[in-house]
Structures are given as structure tokens and as C-alpha cells.
């Protein structure tokens, strides 16, 4: 009989299981799908030998997450970190380029280079403090208050109509908007600005790594560690009620609030039920995967070296596309997030072939196929792209919701990321991972610090379960 049951094997469920198993407890993970991983799956979607990441591909937070640092992920798998972290192409063959070197980045931004450097340098110097502030619960005293203040002031600037006041040209604003738009929401606004500044800080402080062999390598490393410490992971097992679980002392749920309502039945108190019922989900993504007969023929040749490319044009164009989505519309010229991992990892496709991972934002629940709009945006900045397309597979927002129950309406962030959504996740509490049910903890991205492959929601939930139920300290997680 296990001591701990974990429902869901996304990065947060696996992080919770790793932590509990390392503490000497017997852990059993239940996963509905045929393979573990959640947002960390890699598959031959279309043709043999072509490995596509199903959800996340590039892992900006894998080196910054306190959980993955303690887990020593970089010693367990091969992480490929391009020198050019991300970029934004503009018409006419120009591009804004964010290198790991902040100085080199600023040099390429023309007369706005010094302004960009002044914006980012204080954050990069205090990158550990920025990571601590953004990758933990918001309602807490940060370890580095100066970093939190610097970050907050810059978020207020870039999340307001004043976001252009320090810039005179279009390169630096496009660079910042491309990374801010990772967070689905109207622009300018605070949550995307904060997400963009955090991701930009990590890009310059450590780079954005790509896992060799695909993101599934992260999940595999975590499963191996769970099993090495006496735990087990059962796939193909759907849980429809907490009553189906064995009589464990602690249950950790890597699920979204609607699934918690379904699993708990009528056991939750009225106040907590109201909080869950008021929990909001955001807009969504349409994912478009390509097999190509060659590398993307970017008009700006430097983009071939970028681990991630934010395709959408100028700051104004990207903001217009995101604001259309916020208004419930499908943009004709969407913001497209692009990665070509086979450019850096030749294990991902046969010789002469490449895979391309892309998605654009769409309204929640959308069933629209955005492949043509995505292709047109790529052709705009990479003339001849269409001629290289061998095969395409589209996963609509509705399809994402079917793939993963946590992605309600296709919202891969598992909850709306605005100021309220950062604080009420899913309840306003100093320990939002605890539920009112004795021994039951929520550990999905619907809890702090929210989305991203960090493992931190699972780590936090496990930390409190160890303390509350077992009276145990946090274990050592490294090799």
C-alpha cells in the first residue's frame, strides 16, 4: 500500500512524486494517458524518425527553477543552449536578436541598444532574485527585495501605455513584445510584461535550453528517479473519483479546478467550491507542426541560429494580433511562436529533413485550423518556406483541450494569467496548494507559480504535504 498517491504525470505531478519518494515514502503515480509527461511528451506525430514535442519544446525555466536546480537536471540530460536565445524578424530582412550576451544584444539594436541595456541589465545582474520572485508564490516576502522592486517597476512600465517611452526605433520594442506575448493576453498589460521580462532575464543570464531528443527526456529523467527511490508510475489509468485511490495518507493532484470538482464529488465546503467555480481560464493556442525538406529560409540569415523565433512583425503588429484574440477573434496575421529544434539536435529528424514546432494564439475553445495563417506569416519572413513543407499536422485549441484535461478550452497555462489570476490560483491563500480535504493537495499549473516547465507547483505541494502529514523535512533531490 503506497503512502502517497499522485494523480497526473505532468512536470508538476512528477516533481511532487520525486520529492515524496526522495523523502522515503512509497509513491504511486496514476496517469490516464499511455505515456507519462503531460506537457513533456515527444512523439513521431507524422512520420517515423521525426520527433515532435507535443506541447513545450524550448525550456527557458529548466535551469532557473529551484526544483530543477536541486534535482540537477542539467547533469541528468543533455541540454542544448543556443547562443542566440530568441529573435523577432521584421520586414525587409531585418531582425532583432537576443543573444545570451546582453552587451552583444544591445550592440545590435541600433540607437535603442543603450536603452534596452538599461532596462535589462539590473535584472540580469540579479537573475537569481528575479527567478525567486517569479517562480514562487506572489504573496510572500522575496529573498531579494531589490530584485523584486526593480522587476516590478519595469513590469509597470512595459505593461502600460508608457511601454514605448524609452525607445525610438522598432527593433528593441519588437524583441520585448515577442517574448512578452508568450503569455496569452492583451498588450500592453502587466502579466505579459512580467512574463516577458522574466523570460528575457533568463535568456541573457543563462540562455534558453532545448532538451536533446525532445522534452520527453525531462519526464523520463524524473520517472527514472521516482522508480529508483521505490515509487511507481502507472499509465493508462484514469481516476474519476478520489474514492478510487488507495487508502494513502497524502494525495497530490496535478489537475485543474474542474477536475478537482469532478474527483471530489460533494466533499468540498461551500466557500472553496465558490472559489473553484469563479476560477477563470484564458484564451488558447492552435499548434501547427511541420516536416520540412530543409531549414527555414529566413530572409534575415541570423535567424537560423535562434532557438526561438517570435514571428509577428513590429510591436504594434504583434499587439494588434494579441488584442484581436483577447476580443474573441482569429487574427489574419497571428503572432506565431516558432522553434526548429532539428537545427540544433540532429536526432530529431532524418538527414536532409527538419521539424518545425509552431503555435499561434486563438480564442478559447476554437476549432479553427490556423495552418494557412501560420504558413503565410512564415512565408512573409522566410520566402520559399511553402516549397519546403513536406507534411503538416494541426492541433486546434479544442484538440488541445481533448489532449490534456488541464488545458480547458485549449488554455495551456491552466488558468488566466492576469493580476487576479496570479493571486487567485485557484484560491487566495498563503498555502494555495492545500485543499480543505485532509491530506489532499493541488499541484497543477493552476497553483503558484503557474504555467511553465518548472516543477514548482508540485514541489511546493509536496513540501507542505511532507510537513503537514508526515512531519518530514525536504529531502535532498540531487544526484
C-alpha cell at 365: 475553445
The answer on 158 and 99 residing in a single domain is yes
User: Final residue of a domain: which of 403, 429, 451?
Assistant: 403
Q: Confirm whether 49 is domain-assigned.
A: no
Q: What H or E segment, with its residue span, contains residue 210? A: strand 210-211
Q: Confirm whether 411 is domain-assigned.
A: no
Q: Confirm whether 154 is domain-assigned.
A: yes
**Domain of 461, in residue numbers:** 4-41+214-280+416-470
User: What is the reported pLDDT for 97?
Assistant: 98
The answer on 295 and 170 residing in a single domain is yes
pLDDT tens digits, residue range 203-216? 999 999 999 999 99
The answer on 167 and 89 residing in a single domain is yes
pLDDT tens digits, residue range 2-25? 999 999 999 999 999 999 999 999
Q: Confirm whether 233 is domain-assigned.
A: yes
Q: Confirm whether 176 is domain-assigned.
A: yes
CATH number for the domain including 269?
3.50.50.60
User: What is the reported pLDDT for 422?
Assistant: 85
Q: Confirm whether 475 is domain-assigned.
A: no
- Rounded CA separation 443/446 (Å): 8
The answer on 242 and 173 residing in a single domain is no
User: What is the reported pLDDT for 62?
Assistant: 87
User: Final residue of a domain: which of 349, 370, 403?
Assistant: 403
Instruction: Please count the CA atoms within 13 angstroms of the CA of 445 that sit on its side-chain side.
Output: 25
Counting as low any pLDDT under 70, the low residues of the chain are 139
The answer on 340 and 270 residing in a single domain is no
User: Final residue of a domain: which of 356, 382, 403?
Assistant: 403
Q: Confirm whether 408 is domain-assigned.
A: no
Number of domains the chain is built from: 2
Amino acid at each position: 500500500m503506497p503512502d502517497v498517491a499522485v494523480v497526473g504525470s505532468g512536470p508538476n505531478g512528477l516533481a511532487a512524486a520525486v520529492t515524496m519518494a526522495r523523502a522515503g515514502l512509497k509513491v504511486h503515480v496514476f496517469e490516464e494517458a499511455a505515456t507519462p509527461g503531460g506537457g513533456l511528451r515527444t512523439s513521431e506525430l507524422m512520420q517515423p524518425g521525426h520527433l515532435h514535442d507535443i506541447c513545450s519544446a524550448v525550456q527557458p525555466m529548466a535551469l532557473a527553477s529551484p526544483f530543477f536546480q536541486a534535482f540537477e537536471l542539467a547533469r541528468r540530460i543533455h541540454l542544448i543552449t543556443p547562443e542566440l536565445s530568441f529573435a523577432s524578424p521584421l520586414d525587409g530582412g531585418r531582425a532583432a536578436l537576443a543573444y545570451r550576451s546582453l552587451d552583444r544584444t544591445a550592440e545590435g539594436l541600433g540607437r535603442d541598444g543603450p536603452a534596452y541595456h538599461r532596462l535589462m541589465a539590473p535584472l540580469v545582474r540579479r537573475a537569481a532574485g528575479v527567478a525567486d520572485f517569479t517562480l514562487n508564490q506572489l504573496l510572500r516576502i522575496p529573498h531579494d527585495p531589490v530584485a523584486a522592486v526593480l522587476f516590478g517597476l519595469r513590469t509597470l512600465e512595459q505593461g502600460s501605455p508608457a511601454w514605448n517611452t524609452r525607445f525610438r526605433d522598432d527593433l528593441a520594442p519588437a524583441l520585448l513584445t515577442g517574448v512578452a506575448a508568450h503569455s496569452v493576453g492583451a498588450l500592453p498589460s502587466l502579466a505579459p510584461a512580467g512574463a516577458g521580462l522574466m523570460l528575457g532575464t533568463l535568456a541573457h543570464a543563462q540562455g534558453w535550453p532545448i532538451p536533446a531528443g525532445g522534452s520527453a527526456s525531462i519526464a523520463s529523467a524524473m520517472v527514472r528517479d521516482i522508480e529508483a527511490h521505490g515509487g511507481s508510475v502507472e499509465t493508462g489509468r484514469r481516476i474519476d473519483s478520489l474514492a478510487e485511490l488507495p487508502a494513502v495518507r497524502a494525495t497530490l493532484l496535478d489537475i485543474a479546478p474542474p477536475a478537482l470538482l469532478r474527483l471530489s464529488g460533494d466533499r468540498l465546503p461551500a466557500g472553496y467550491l465558490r472559489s473553484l467555480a469563479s476560477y477563470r481560464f484564458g484564451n488558447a493556442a492552435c499548434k501547427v507542426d511541420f516536416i520540412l525538406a530543409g531549414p527555414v529560409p529566413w530572409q534575415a540569415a541570423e535567424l537560423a541560429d535562434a532557438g526561438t523565433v517570435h514571428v509577428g512583425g513590429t510591436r504594434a503588429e504583434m499587439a494588434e494580433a494579441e488584442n484581436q484574440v483577447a476580443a474573441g477573434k482569429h487574427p489574419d496575421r497571428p503572432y506565431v511562436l516558432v522553434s526548429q529544434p532539428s537545427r540544433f539536435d540532429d536526432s530529431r529528424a532524418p538527414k536532409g529533413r527538419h521539424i518545425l514546432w509552431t503555435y499561434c494564439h486563438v480564442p478559447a475553445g476554437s476549432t479553427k485550423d490556423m495552418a494557412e495563417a501560420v504558413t503565410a506569416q512564415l512565408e512573409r519572413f522566410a520566402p520559399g518556406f511553402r516549397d519546403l513543407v513536406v507534411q503538416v499536422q494541426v492541433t486546434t485549441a479544442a484538440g488541445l483541450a481533448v489532449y490534456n484535461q488541464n488545458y480547458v478550452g485549449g488554455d495551456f497555462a491552466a488558468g488566466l494569467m492576469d493580476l487576479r489570476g496570479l493571486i487567485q490560483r485557484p484560491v487566495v491563500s498563503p498555502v494555495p496548494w492545500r485543499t480543505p480535504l485532509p491530506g489532499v493537495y493541488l499541484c497543477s499549473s493552476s497553483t503558484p507559480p503557474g504555467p511553465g516547465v518548472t516543477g514548482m507547483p508540485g514541489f511546493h505541494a509536496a513540501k507542505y504535504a511532507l510537513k503537514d502529514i508526515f512531519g518530514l523535512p525536504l529531502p535532498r533531490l540531487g544526484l
